[in-house]
Amino acid sequence: MRLLSVRLIFSLILAITLVSLLFSYNQVLEEKRSLRTDLEHRAAVLAESLAGNVGPHLENGSIKKLQGIVEQFSNRERLAGVAILDTKLEPVAQSVGLAQWMQSQPSAVAQGIAQNQIQSVFVRTTNGRLHVYVLPLHRDGELVGELVIVHDASYIDAQIAHVWRDTFLRVLVQVFLIVLITVLIVRWSIAGPIARAAQWMRALRAGKVAPSSVAISESDLLRPLTREMTSIAESLAAARLAAEREAKLREASESSWTAERLSVHVRSKLGHSQLFVVSNREPFSHVHQGKSVQVIVPASGLVTALEPVLCACDGTWIAHGNGDADRETVDSHDRLRVPPEEPKYTLRRVWLTKEEEEGYYYGFSNEGIWPLCHIAHTRPIFRDADFEHYRQANQKFAKAVLEEMANTERPVLLVQDYHFALLPRLIKKQRPDARVAIFWHIPWPSSESFEICPWQRELLDGLLGADLVGFHIQSHYTNFLQTVDRTLECRIDWEHFTVNREGHSTLVKPFPISVEFPDPPSATTDNSPYEDRVTLLRELGVEALFLGVGVDRVDYTKGILERLLAIERMLEKNPTYQGKFTFVQIGSPSRTHIKRYHDLLAAVEAEAERINWRFQTAKWKPIVFLKRHCSHNEISRYYRAADLCLVTSLHDGMNLVAKEFIAARHDEQGVLILSRFTGAARELRDALMVNPYDIEHTADAIRVALEMHSDERTARMQRLRKQVKEQNIYRWAGSLIGELCGVRLDVSDRTQITDRATASAAR
């Protein structure tokens, strides 16, 4: 064990002894340094004197004058040549003898422009040693080019050659031995064991090795570190085991779902399979902010639900890369490991052209399918070109998914939302062994309404390629089954809600999505709602006793205009609340280059301004419209402080704002006013239900919420919070994945059917 220490000490002594021999040549080296310094000084003086003459001519493009200046100074003693380059390293003027040498683009020349700094280096060429001095040229503070002065430095070598002739080889061997010995000793004795220790720790953290499999040297040098790391590893393993046991116990009971319980549940369901998720929005995007690249995490319940699953099984998320720095952060296969702070799963980015994004996302998805599925009296727009882009985008995503699945047996795929109606069929044709689910996050209209879509058969056929189609509520999947029954040739089992088409069975079920239910804040960090309300109103420059809040994308399905009219009517009918009640509408602009959305944003601003002009006083106004994107923390402050939350969607698949408001109310106060046309209305029965088209009814509901007795508010909120806590986002993900993994696949039968269909088509 001591041999390593002795060897290291002896080697260092030997190396130091050998290096000390070099001091005998200190005088020679000092002479060489002096000659170099003198040459660098002469080059700097010459460059400074030339810069004043070169700058104006370079800016004016006077190439002949610049060439004249170059030739004038080319005959100086030991001056190999002069060159003037522009910012693109293209020669503007240069000495004849430098042309061939400059074509090689010496690094000092390139660094002068790249770093905008003076470069002074000695380089060796086939014609001997040269000294290169590069001076950046500026005009009015801007870089316009550079001046390159090249001297013949071979005379320095000539003056000291007779000294180095006898000692060069010996010194070279000595230096080489010192470096080699030092590197070998450090790598063998220190670097190697540390590298193995780091690799072992990474494997241990990932759960791939046991703490007993210590991969660290037992030498005297690292023995204390070995003991400490082994102790930490054992503690980590014990903590992980305890957490998994606790999660398994929770899974076996009917307790609340957590990220840990979801992870255990998914691992047990997936077995040796791997999970893949497809969505239009990516969980992490990279954008340029100044000179740096920042990671943006979108506020998304979907990310909250699925990230623990992907982390647990080292899955893959395939999404559209639309961040302006996304391409810079992926590898050659368009992949990167995420989360950035502790990578646990893979993000695969798919690239779309501007035309494809315009047609697939903004066109067919959001001007066609979105208004078609939402009964908000906005006419859907269908264009052949948009659907073709939609088809191309689905094919691009299908190609990416199949590439990621290539080495996975019986993969599990979760497709998200209406952007990918064609994707399940595309995947299932190539990988019949894959379990495929698609969750449709928006409503499904009646079969008569869906007939408006010119490509309804293609969309339905694509969706029925999945093994499982999920919706939020029963009425949506009932509409879907009726649409399928009316449009396609298939067999529907209404008792078990399955569709059999071309030998493939698709299960259709509701899975109401929800939000994460946070732990209550500590008593030391949680302010009272009244204190938060006073602070928020002061920040808004408004004095009021009561506060209402609405949080939406500015979308015509959200009923924002109807909401503002109801507030106006409430103030008309109840003038005692004038000067006392303020409503804050947080509206993040969305899809504003679509005319319908652009016009809606202007209409909301105009309506808020009109109502304010009618009622406002010097220190109060009834409506505050915050037209911007707000972080989750900002929105939570308004949730906690508000007396009521208005969710008045004209039609909505679920609307998670209602559940976010409930989850934020740890004080068990506040009243939720909820549109009966939301999916959330089926679950949140203790909210005040309204018809958003009925302005009088909604105005009365606002007054009732403000005047509701505190005991009733508490009782309603307690029941609402119990519902959201039990049916949280993790339960949604666990139910969806559990149902999908339980789907029975008969790949052999499917393959035979496909083969028969192919043979029949060939005949």
Are 496 and 624 part of one and the same domain? no
Picking from 123, 152, 181, the residue at the C-terminal end of a domain is 152
536 and 584, same domain (yes or no)? yes
Q: Using CB atoms within 10 A of its CB, is residue 617 exposed (0-12), middle (13-18) or buried (19+)?
A: exposed
Same domain, 563 and 439: no
Is 313 part of a structural domain of the chain?
yes
Give CA–CA dist 181/636, Å, rounded.
Answer: 62
Domain boundary among 152, 184, 204: 152
The CATH number for 618's domain is 3.40.50.2000
Domain match, 597 and 672 both? yes
Q: Which residues pair with 553 in a beta bridge?
A: 588
Same structural domain, 504 and 564: no
Kindly state whether residues 426 and 534 are assigned to the same domain.
Answer: no
Does residue 675 belong to any structural domain of this protein? yes
pLDDT score for 497: 92
Q: Looking at residue 240, what is its pLDDT?
A: 67
> Which of residues 125, 152, 179 is at a domain's end?
152
Residues 506 and 533 in one domain: no
Assess if residue 387 is contained within a domain: no
To the nearest 10 degrees (0 to 180), the angle between helices 456-463 and 423-430 is 50
Q: Is residue 584 part of a domain?
A: yes
How many domains is the chain built from? 3
Regions of the chain where pLDDT drops below 70: 1-25, 27, 55, 58-61, 74, 99-105, 162-180, 182-183, 186-187, 189-192, 194-195, 197-198, 200-202, 204-231, 233, 235, 238-255, 299-301, 522-527, 746-763
Contact 738, 682 (CB under 8 A): no
Q: Are residues 461 and 575 in the same domain?
A: no
What distance in Å separates the CA atoms of residue 241 and residue 243, rounded to the nearest whole number?
A: 5
- CA dist 440 and 481 (Å) reads 13
Assess whether the previous peptide bond of 339 is cis (omega < 30° from 0). yes
> Which range marks the domain in which residue 96 is found?
25-152
pTM above 0.75, yes or no: no
Examine the domain organization and report whether 534 and 663 are in the same domain: yes
Residue 172 inside a domain? The answer is no
Please, are residues 147 and 132 in contact by the beta-carbon 8 Å criterion?
Answer: no
Phi, psi for 362 (deg, rounded to 5): -75, -35
As to burial, measured by CB atoms within 10 angstroms (0-12 exposed, 13-18 middle, 19+ buried), residue 538 is: exposed
Q: Is residue 242 a part of any domain in this protein?
A: no
**Is residue 479, in this structure, part of any structural domain at all?**
yes
The predicted structure's pLDDT at residue 761: 40
202 belongs to a structural domain? no
Same domain, 448 and 549: no
CA atoms within 13 A on the CB side of 117: 7
Same-domain pairing of 481 and 571: no
- Does 707 lie in the same domain as 576? yes
